[in-house]
Structure 1
Amino acid sequence: MAIIWAIWILLQVLIGYNLYLPLILFTFYKPSKQILPPLAPEDDYAIIVTAYEQVESIPNVIASILKLNYTNFIVYIVADNCDVSGLSFEDEKVVVLRPPETLASNTRSHFYAIHNFKRSHTRLTIIDSDNLVEPEYLHELDRYFNAGFSAVQGVREAKNLNTTYACLDAARDIYYHFYDGKVLFGIGSSATLAGSGMAFTTQLYRNCLESRDITGAGFDKVLQSIIVGQNLRIAFTDKAIVYDEKTTHSDQLVKQRSRWINTWFKYFKFGFTLVFKGISNFSRNQFIFGFILLRPPLFIFLILSVICMLANIFISITAVFIWLIGLILFVLGFYIALAKSDTDKRIWQSLINIPKFIFYQVLSLLKVRRANKHSVATTHYYNTDSVENDKLKSDES
């Protein structure tokens, strides 16, 4: 009986600490006072844009990239399993690559671009086929590279807020950018990588992934664990802005989240390695980052927390109050993330639909075993010539 009781307490601790962790981290967070060096002469960037099966959004992506207030770059479009007959760009900075065989892998597409570089670029940044970039994107990345960092994660803001699902998806991103980006980096650890809107020295990227063939979702999880495993820090800047398309349909949400959940189950083990490395190396960077990698997706530990709280009604009223306090603190932490960010009022209004959003993520969990059978890329439905259209709607509402 004592063993069962000990296991029950341990299980609750492993689940419950996730409720308290955001505010604990925020308690130690202080806005960065790091003095970044002045901008040096432009470095040489490769901007890798990956597309799988769909190229409809590519012209808008390239149009935004060509508006960058930067001159020293080349854009490499890797159109994997795509019809490129409609892709034609007069600017010599744009190179269209169509692999002869289907790659069906982010990293394979990245290295196809790298192996076809027109020149030896010192830095590379990865952009998705549905992204748009702010004109100062590369300059803002430069500030952190020039400060000595070799990996930088920018912020992915919502390109569209045209449905409830898109708004809730954006709210989730704001939460993660705040705690897994700004706060983690601010307390001396590393920002988590987000799959796009991130940049590296070309040498670091090649050293980390060139010898690994990663299929399915999650290359960013492998990459960040290797970088932090070397005790390098991944910088975060909320001024290097990429606009990312948010999910607009329930079936789109389920398929996307099933891939992401599958990725967590596949790669969360890296967290244990980093925690132990952090202890042995006395590394705050590795230790804290390891705990972040062990954290399940939000909806999983929230559901488990509610189950544990209800179960304790028959076991310990004290434990019920501990769980209740934890849930309240988590909600407070979520509010802080949104309140300290430039959160659109449509996102605030959408929060009432969080139970529906969680329901569809539970459906995603049920389909997680078949996740890799889904397309390796999210199907895009949102169609706009620029992000300004959606901002205009926000201003008028």
Structure 2
Amino acid sequence: MDGFAIGYGVLYILGIIICFYLVFPMMLFLCWKLSVNPTKPVNPGSNQRDYGIILTAYEQVDFVADAVRSLLDMDYVNFRIYVVADNCKPSEALIFTDDRIEVLFPESILASNTASHFYAIEHFTRQHETILIMDSDNLAHPQLINELNRYFELGFRAVQGLRSAKNLETTIACLDAARDIYYHFYDGRVIFDLGSSATLAGSGMAFDSQLYVSMLKDIDIKGAGFDKVLQARLIASGERIAFAQHAIVYDQKTSAPKQLISQRSRWITTWFKYFKFGFSILYQGIAHTNLNQFIFGTVLLRPPLFIFLSLAVLLMVISIFTSQVLAIVILFSLIIYVISFLIPVLSKTTDKKIRKALVFIPKFMFYQFVSLARSIVSDKSNVATRHSLKKNSR
């Protein structure tokens, strides 16, 4: 009898946690709609912050020239670009005539984002006030730095821009873009406007140089996940990460199953490795009544979408035979979640290709499960995603 009671208790606890995270986005959305004082950017003024732009490339340099060109075409002049070509051979793609560009070839393979960043910092030709981190497959909007500066003028020392898809040639790329729209809306714009911090996306983000160095100088982060460690340390130290929705970086979306599985395996491994930070940050938020830390800690503890959605469906099916009330609650929570997901994804600004691709979400989730299996049985998921220059079929 006690065994049954324990089983029911575990079932209900899991149900409560899952239902909470299913309705959490809608709770945030409703609070956001009712809020009257979101943080508003200011004009950047005449302060031309000196930017050291770190552009990292690992093994693949196909996109570097375009990325650099987009940075040079920005409506901004006070910057210098440092291309860290890790495990890359010298090639024509890495030859530039503009004297604002430094191409760096590490003596040994770094295979680490933070190692590449600090390698660039050690080779700065001058002390830059601000660091902007970009991936080699990114393209910068002409107003990128001007928009970032709006938030530095407000006193923020860490700012995340918006990563928008630059390629929508396949269904997978469109669904990858839909995911980004969802996360940028709730984990960026909404929670930032509510007084918390935007989650970091790995690129298109800028920091006060001294702050960035102080946050990561004493830790060696291997593989992926430096942004998870960085954001946790920033929030724990009392910093707030701003979200600059008009500071746009165009990001190469995964367009083929093999790329998706490789990338998601790395991301899943990273979440399981670093989600623990959410507990301490949530505790800090409760103990110090700090809204920034409370909301951010709650967000960090949320599992990857496909995992908790699948758990919700599985638990609902089990509950049909054990607790019909719980099954009904989970069902309504799932409906609320679907509505909250569609709110940003079906907005007027979303490309029609992305909307049409939504019917293939089950296929996308299948690849996520393959990624989960790979992350469990393999230790090779912490490598950079290789993007193809060619269009891929569905």
Band the TM-score falls in, shorter-chain normalisation: over 0.9
Q: What secondary structure is seen at the aligned counterpart in 2 of 1:16?
A: helix
SS of 2:306 mapped into structure 1: helix
The alignment status of 1:178 with 2:185, answered yes or no, reads yes
Q: Is the 8 A contact 2:168 2:253 kept in 1?
A: yes
Report the TM-score, using the length of structure 1 for normalisation.
0.94
- Corresponding residue of 2:120: 113
Q: Distance in 1 between matches of 2:240 and 2:99?
A: 35
Q: Which residue of 2 aligns with 1:190?
A: 197
Please list the CA deviations of residues 282-326 of structure 1 after superposition, one character each: whole Å capped at 9, or x if unmatched: 100001100100000000000000001111111122211111111
Shift of 1:49: 0.3
Tell me the equivalent position of 2:48.
42
Q: Is 1:284 paired with 2:291?
A: yes
Question: How many angstroms apart in 2 are the aligned matches of 1:150 and 1:361?
Answer: 35
Letter in 1 for 2:229: V
Going from structure 1 to structure 2, the CA distance change for 1:238 and 1:17 (only over 3 Å counts) comes to same
Superposed CA RMSD in Å reads: 1.4
**Alignment of 1:315 onto 2:360:** no
- Report what 1:56 is aligned to: 62
The whole-number CA distance in structure 2 between the counterparts of 1:370 and 1:11 is 26
Distance of 2:41 and 2:295 partners within structure 1? 24
Q: Does 1:15 align with 2:22?
A: no
Q: Which runs of 5+ in 2 are unaligned?
A: none
Q: Which residue of 2 aligns with 1:241?
A: 248
Instruction: Return closer, same or farther for 1:33/1:229 CA change in 2, 3 Å cut-off.
Output: closer
Q: Residue type of the partner of 1:267?
A: Y
Could you tell me which residue of structure 2 aligns to residue 133 of structure 1? 140
Q: Which digits, 9 at most, give the CA deviation of each residue in 1:168-193, with x for residues without a partner?
A: 00000000000000001010000000
Task: Give, in angstroms, the shift of residue 382 of structure 1.
Answer: 3.3
Distance 1:215 1:284 in 2: 31
> Aligned partners of 1:299, 1:350: CA distance in 2, in Å?
17
Is the CA contact 1:218–1:263 (under 8 Å) kept in the aligned structure 2? yes
Residues 380 and 35 of structure 1: CA distance in aligned 2, closer, same or farther (over 3 Å): closer
Equivalent-residue separation in structure 2 for 1:101 and 1:35 (angstroms): 42
TM-score by length of 2: 0.95
- The answer as to whether partners of 1:258 and 1:367 remain within 8 angstroms in 2 is yes
1:236-284 Cα deviation digits (max 9, x unpaired):
0110000000011101101110000000000000000001011111100
Alignment-derived partner of residue 343 in structure 2 = 336
Counterpart-to-counterpart distance in 1, 2:46 and 2:10:
56
Say whether the 8 Å CA contact 1:248–1:382 is kept in structure 2. Answer: no
Q: Is 1:69 aligned with 2:63?
A: no
The answer on whether the counterparts of 2:166 and 2:252 sit within 8 Å (CA) in structure 1 is yes
1:227 aligns with 234
Q: Deviations over 1:170-224 (max 9, x none)?
A: 0000000000000010100000000000010001100000111101111000000
More divergent stretch after superposition (28-37 vs 259-268) = 28-37
Match of 1:5?
A: 8
Which deviates the most, 29-38 or 349-358?
29-38
* 1:352-392 C-alpha deviation (Å, 9 max, x unpaired): 000000000000000113554246211011359xxxxxxxx
On the 8 A contact 1:271/1:291 being kept in 2, the answer is yes
Which residue number corresponds to residue 387 of structure 1?
none
Task: Give the C-alpha shift of residue 5 in structure 1.
Answer: 2.0
> Cα distance 1:33–1:262, how it changes in 2: closer, same or farther (>3 A)?
closer
The alignment status of 1:155 with 2:162, answered yes or no, reads yes
Question: SS at the partner of 1:367?
Answer: helix
Aligned residues of 2:53 and 2:131 also touching (Cα < 8 A): yes
| 1:63-122 deviation line (CA, Å, top 9, x unaligned) | 100001100000000000001232111101110000010000000000000000000001
Distance 1:150 1:371 in 2: 38
**Matched residue, 1:391:** none
Q: 1:167 aligns with which of 174, 187, 194?
A: 174
Call closer, same or farther: CA 1:370–1:377 in 2, change over 3 Å. farther
2:262 corresponds to: 255
- How far apart in 2 are the matches of 1:24 and 1:302? 17
Consecutive unaligned residues in structure 1, runs of 5 or more: 385-397
